[in-house]
């Protein structure tokens, strides 16, 4: 007489439960689950236009209903955090800017704040440098939210919105290019301040942008907010209430769309945000529609912050005065938009031999950072972006680890998708606004 590999199934308040001691799972459930053979497993991605990067979703479907969802990452792994251990502290800015490539200036600022905290120079950062950091981050927040709005609208069928969103983003990238010489991956915010000052031409462009953008936001809302298809695809879809957000560590617009006004610029201020006037937009539905409303409102708040930052830009240095940290001559971009200008090189060469030697050592070896470890968190477009930096007293980081909101928020996808339709996986996943460069770092 043979014994059964598993006990008889029993019904519970959570559904049918099996106690399995061996055997094949399909054989265990096939006799009692009438639709077991009708479930299929679908790989969405990693090369899929609606996964916001190289994200793979493994979906178990019953018809068009998602019964199980798993996020698989690692297809874009760059090893940036490990690379930081082999570069000096200033060179680290060039690496971290490439993590979340839609918000590079946030990556750089969080890193710079952490290094400055280790150095003990947080209070020495000049007022102009701090104001420029706020100005650049809020411009970056606008451009990041525009990409989210453009791509999410495209995935839900609103093709025109995709064109408009990227059109306005191009305006912001032109401003960045005027200031930093690059559209993306700037390495502009550095320990001690910023790489160079904001030119007058950029100020004029920003003023023009502040005049243009409110009108364009009205156009977006006229296009989407009352559109029946947009409402059907976003309202009551991929709901994640505040309790679930807290349990999963979700932050940023997703958390605020569930009703909790948690924004590090208000709750744990940095860069002088406590001295600016702005609101923290919230919603209570916790669905894709709420996340859309929150992000559009955040663009408006960022425009208010940008205007205040412009009004605060007073003449002054943009790097700390300590020559053991700051470069002896101000960085200037060459005519090719990349290398150092001849005037910059001549200024270095025209100084004393000691200054030239110091400049050479500072650039090649870098400065030493006292041993210790710190954590600094800032509010990125996707949520809490945290940097845990560890120094052993050398010229290179011992360890730098990022608390990336895209990585943390992605674990909410199964909670949002399971039990819903496969079409809503697209809307729900997009509403998290994940950037895989931040996940796979």
Q: What are the DSSP E strand ranges found in 98-206?
A: 189-190, 193-194
Residue spans of the domains in the chain: they are 1-34, 80-325+367-439
DSSP class of residue 317?
A: -
Q: What is the pLDDT of residues 23-68, one digit of tens each?
A: 666 666 665 655 556 778 888 878 777 677 788 888 888 888 888 8
Beta bridge partners, 68, equal: 60
CA dist 334 and 346 (Å) reads 12
CA dist 344 and 329 (Å) reads 7
Residues 216/163, Cβ–Cβ less than 8 Å = no
Is 138's pLDDT higher than 90? Answer: yes
Q: Say if domain 80-325+367-439 classifies as CATH 1.10.645.10.
A: yes
Residues 390/373, Cβ–Cβ less than 8 Å = yes
Compute φ and ψ for 377, nearest 5 degrees: -120, 140
CA dist 400 and 242 (Å) reads 30
Q: Is the dihedral of CA 209, 261, 226, 232 positive or negative?
A: positive
Half-sphere exposure of 34 (CA within 13 A, CB side): 0
The first and second tokens of residue 255, run together, are 């958390």
pLDDT score at 6:
46
pLDDT band at 208 (very low <50, low <70, confident <90, very high): very high
The position carrying tokens 């298809």 is: 229
pTM: 0.85
Of 5-9, 265-269, 404-408, least confident by mean pLDDT is 5-9
Is 360's pLDDT higher than 90? Answer: no
Exposed, middle or buried by CB within 10 Å (0-12, 13-18, 19+), for 238? Answer: buried
């Amino acid at each position: 007489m043979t014994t059964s590999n598993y006990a008889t199934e029993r019904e519970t308040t959570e559904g049918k439960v099996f106690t399995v001691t061996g055997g094949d799972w399909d054989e265990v459930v096939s006799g009692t689950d009438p639709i077991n053979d009708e479930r299929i497993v679908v790989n969405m991605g990693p090369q899929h236009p609606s996964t916001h990067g190289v994200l793979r979703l493994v979906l178990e479907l019953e018809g068009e209903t998602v019964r199980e969802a798993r996020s698989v990452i690692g297809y874009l792994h760059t090893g940036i955090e490990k690379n930081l251990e082999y570069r000096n502290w200033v060179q680290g800015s060039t690496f971290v800017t490439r993590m979340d490539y839609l918000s590079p200036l946030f990556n750089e600022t969080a890193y710079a704040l952490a290094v400055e905290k280790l150095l003990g120079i947080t209070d020495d950062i000049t007022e102009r440098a701090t104001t420029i950091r706020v100005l650049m981050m809020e411009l970056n927040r606008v451009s990041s939210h525009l990409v989210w709005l453009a791509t999410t609208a495209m995935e839900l069928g609103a093709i025109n919105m995709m064109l408009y969103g990227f059109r306005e983003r191009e305006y912001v990238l032109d401003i960045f290019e005027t200031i930093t010489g690059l559209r993306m991956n700037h390495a502009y915010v550095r320990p001690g301040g910023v790489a160079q000052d904001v030119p007058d031409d950029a100020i004029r462009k920003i003023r023009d942008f502040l005049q243009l953008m409110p009108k364009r936001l009205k156009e977006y809302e006229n296009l989407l907010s009352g559109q029946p298809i947009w409402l059907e695809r976003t309202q009551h879809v991929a709901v994640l209430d505040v309790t679930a957000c807290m349990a999963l560590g979700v932050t940023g617009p997703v958390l605020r769309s569930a009703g909790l006004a948690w924004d590090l610029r208000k709750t744990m201020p940095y860069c002088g945000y406590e001295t600016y006037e702005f609101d923290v937009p919230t919603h209570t539905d916790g669905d894709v529609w709420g996340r859309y409303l929150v992000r559009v409102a955040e663009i408006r708040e960022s425009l208010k912050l940008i205007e205040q930052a412009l009004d605060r830009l007073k003449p002054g240095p943009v790097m700390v005065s300590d020559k053991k940290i700051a470069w002896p001559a101000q960085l200037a971009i060459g005519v090719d938009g990349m290398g150092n200008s001849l005037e910059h090189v001549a200024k270095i060469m025209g100084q004393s031999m000691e200054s030239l030697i110091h400049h050479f050592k500072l650039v090649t070896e870098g400065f030493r950072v006292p041993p210790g470890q710190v954590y600094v968190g800032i509010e990125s477009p996707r949520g809490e972006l945290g940097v845990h930096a560890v120094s052993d007293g050398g010229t290179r980081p011992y360890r730098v680890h990022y608390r990336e909101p895209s990585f943390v928020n992605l674990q909410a996808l199964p909670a949002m998708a399971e039990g819903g339709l496969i079409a809503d996986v697209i809307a729900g996943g997009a509403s998290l606004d994940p950037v895989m460069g931040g996940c796979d770092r």
